[in-house]
Amino acid sequence: MVQGALESVRVLDLSGDIAGSFCARLLGDYGADVIKVEPPGGAPLRRMGPFFQDDPHPEKSLMFLVHNLNKLGVTLDLEQEAGRRVFSELVGQADVVVETFKPGYLTSLGLGYDHLESLNPRVVLTSITPFGQSGPYSRYEGEEIVSYAMGAIMSISGTRDREPLKHGGFQAQYEGGLNGAAATSMALLAQQLSGEGQHVDVSITECVSSTMMANQTLYSFTGGIQARRPPTGNDYGHPMACADGWIINQTGGGASWDDIAGFYGRPELLEERFRDRRSREALGEDFDAILVDAIKDRGKWEMFEKASDMRMLFGLVQTPEELLRCPQLESRGFYRDVEHPVMGKLKVPAVLFSYSLTPYELRGPAPLLGQHNVQVYCDRLGYSRSDLVRLRQNGVI
């Protein structure tokens, strides 16, 4: 029986950021044999918080943990000739290499795609960078907010009376990782059909821009530009504070305006001036004040159940604690418990896709720094223990 959709696929993960690590983790989640290749001092993600119990230890980065599940881990200095020789041996056994270095860096080390292809014509090199491998911006530094701004999604985020907003977290990085994993999977299918590998070039900014496709089409066809939301008017789904948090409600769905007025329990909402959306928008803050006052003493979960029964367009803002206990995610097995040798037992977000024949499997936590050096270099490549000692003494591993 096949254990994973990508069983027998071998991946080398050179990435030090979220996007590349997440890409390689997704491949590992569904059966690929992934080796995290870090410099002897550790990947940059090990120094990124939050840290378990606020201890800034390289084995306690929760960001490193969650993005490197289901991987083996080795150390290797690619800037030393001996390190490049060892890496070339690993490439000879690999199907995929994932990297997030600046364009041209691997080539400067003699490890560009042309060289990797000469070592292994089947190898797929997936490069995930802020702007891609080519073009006038390709050598620019990138950052999360830069990708959001350059990708234009910030132009429609927020309200018209304020500056553009960026979504919280690292959504651009995750988009790059998701697209990188999808593109790599397609390249693996082509590899299986043709026996040839290829260089997959993923631009995080283009991944963000792709979410603006409908807006770009609007501009191409009509010259129109989608504006940010008006500052008032809860027909547009602005967050509203209630007794125990925040909710979002929009008109529409299966509920009539009479139903919505009944939900809020305010008879004045049945007046003619509130029945038309444009009229409600014109009332602005006066309309908002009625709704906010109507819910200020009500609980969001009670309102959620009632709105669901009435088929209203309604959402509640879950806190991280509530998300961890979300009955929907729990019913689908989204979270899994992982036993880490340093941090102990932790619950992690794990299952992004469900397959009926090749389900997700959590095979192990993120590796400790250099944890699998012996397993990979000795068992797979045939190095002796004394070879490893010399490599370690010379700072190669």
Which residue's entry shows tokens 């995610």?
A: 329
- In sequence order, the 6+-apart residues with CB closer than 8 A to the CB of 298 are 242, 243
Q: Specify whether 174 is located in the same domain as 281.
A: no
Phi, psi (deg, nearest 5) at residue 350: -130, -55
Domain assignment of residue 179, yes or no: yes
Q: Specify whether 178 is located in the same domain as 248.
A: no
> Per-residue pLDDT for the chain (397 aa), expressed as one digit of tens each?
567 899 999 999 999 999 999 999 999 999 999 999 999 999 999 999 999 999 999 999 999 999 999 999 999 999 999 999 999 999 999 999 999 999 999 999 999 999 999 999 999 999 999 999 999 999 999 999 999 999 988 888 888 888 998 888 999 999 999 999 999 999 999 999 999 999 999 999 999 999 887 677 776 777 777 777 777 666 666 789 999 999 988 776 778 889 889 999 999 989 888 888 788 877 778 888 899 999 999 999 999 999 999 888 889 999 999 999 999 999 999 999 999 999 999 999 999 999 999 999 999 999 999 999 999 999 999 999 999 999 999 999 9
pTM of the model: 0.91
Domain assignment of residue 228, yes or no: no
Q: Specify whether 289 is located in the same domain as 363.
A: no
The dihedral over CA atoms of 284, 289, 292, 295, expressed in degrees to the nearest 10, equals -120
Q: Specify whether 294 is located in the same domain as 353.
A: no
Strand partners, 247: 240, 316
219 in the Ramachandran plot: left (φ > 0), alpha (ψ -120 to 50) or beta?
alpha
Q: Specify whether 101 is located in the same domain as 179.
A: yes
CATH code of 277's domain? 3.30.1540.10
- In sequence order, the 6+-apart residues with CB closer than 8 A to the CB of 197 are 95, 117, 120, 121, 122, 123, 124, 125, 187, 191
CB 136 within 8 A of CB 222: no
CB 323 within 8 A of CB 252: no
Domain assignment of residue 221, yes or no: no
Distance of CA 187 to the CA centre of its chain: 20
Q: Specify whether 152 is located in the same domain as 25.
A: yes
Strand partners, 71: 34
Domain termination residue (choose one: 253, 286, 316): 316
Domain assignment of residue 322, yes or no: no
Q: Specify whether 102 is located in the same domain as 249.
A: no
Q: Specify whether 244 is located in the same domain as 124.
A: no
Strand partners, 310: none
Q: Specify whether 352 is located in the same domain as 312.
A: no
Find the domain containing 248 and state its range.
Answer: 240-316
CATH code of 112's domain? 3.40.50.10540
Domain termination residue (choose one: 282, 316, 350): 316
Angle ∠(240,241,243) on CA atoms, nearest 5: 140
Strand partners, 256: none
Domain assignment of residue 4, yes or no: no
Q: Specify whether 115 is located in the same domain as 148.
A: yes
Domain termination residue (choose one: 285, 316, 347): 316
Burial class of 114 by CB neighbour count within 10 A (0 to 12, 13 to 18, 19+):
exposed
pLDDT of residue 1: 52
pLDDT of residue 306: 93
- Domains: count for the chain: 2
pLDDT of residue 55: 96
Domain assignment of residue 220, yes or no: no
Q: Specify whether 268 is located in the same domain as 359.
A: no
Encoding tokens for residue 210? Answer: 């792709």
Strand partners, 97: 12, 125
Domain assignment of residue 321, yes or no: no
Q: Specify whether 205 is located in the same domain as 86.
A: yes
- Picking from 155, 220, 198, 146, the residue whose alpha carbon sits closest to that of residue 176 is 146
CA distance 240 to 244: 11
Domain assignment of residue 226, yes or no: no
Which amino acid belongs to residue 274? F
Strand partners, 99: 127
